[in-house]
Amino acid sequence: MEKVDVRGLSCPMPVIKTKKAIDQGAQELLVLGTSQVSKENVLKLAKSQGYQAELIVDGKDNWEMKLTRK
């Protein structure tokens, strides 16, 4: 599983980094982030690209999202 660390980055960088990993053919991704706005934007991107998203950790300042191609 590929890991994409976007902690501390503001949009659009989390979406761009996640999209880059998707474009390289990743079947499973673990995205680590801190911004609630970027969490929503990465979730929208994942769904639009045919990925199923599972929020693993949804803390106040940190989140982890597992993306799996359907």
What are the pLDDT digits (tens) for 34-50? 999 999 999 999 999 99
Of residues 35, 25, 27, the one with CA closest to residue 5? 35
CATH number at residue 21: 3.30.110.40
Q: 48: domain range?
A: 2-69
Q: What percent of the chain has pLDDT over 90?
A: 90
Q: How many whole angstroms separate alpha carbon 70 and alpha carbon 52?
A: 6
Q: Whole-prediction pTM value?
A: 0.93
Hey, what are 68's tokens?
């799996």
Q: What domain count does the chain have? A: 1
